[in-house]
Amino acid sequence: MLNLHEDLHVCCAAGSAEEALALMACQPDVAVVDLSLHSNSGLDLVRMLRQHYPRLAILVLSMHDETLFAERALRAGANGYLMKLEATEHIVNAIREVLAGNVYLSAAMHDKLARALKAPQRSRAGSIASLSEREFEVLHLIGLGFSTRQIAGKLNRSVKTIEAHQANIKEKLDIPNGKELMRFAIQWIESQ
Q: List, for residues 86-144, the tens digit of each pLDDT value.
A: 777 788 999 999 999 999 998 878 787 777 666 654 443 458 888 988 999 999 999 88
How many structural domains does the chain have?
A: 2
Do 114 and 153 reside in the same domain of the chain? no
End residue of a domain, out of 118, 152, 183: 118
Q: Which residues are within 8 A (CB) of 48 and not within 5 positions of it... i.e. 6 or more apart?
A: 17, 21
Range of the domain at 41: 2-118
82 and 20 fall within a common domain:
yes
User: Considering the domain boundaries, does residue 23 fall inside one?
Assistant: yes
- Convert the pLDDT of each residue in 24-59 to its tens digit: 988 999 999 988 766 667 888 899 999 999 999 999
40 & 104 share domain: yes
Domain boundary residue among 62, 95, 118?
A: 118
72 closest CA partner among 105, 102, 32: 105
Give the SS3 label for residue 41. strand
| CATH number of the domain where residue 113 is located | 3.40.50.2300
165, β-bridge pairs: none
Distances, alpha carbon 130 to alpha carbons 82, 152, 169, 170, 171, in Å = 24, 22, 9, 12, 11
Q: Quick check: is 123 in a domain?
A: no
Strand order through the sheet with 80-83? 30-33, 57-62, 80-83
pTM attached to this predicted model: 0.65
Is residue 137 located within the same domain as residue 44? no
Measure the CA–CA gap between 70 and 9, rounded to whole angstroms. Answer: 25
The closest alpha carbon to 74, from 39, 124, 109, belongs to 109
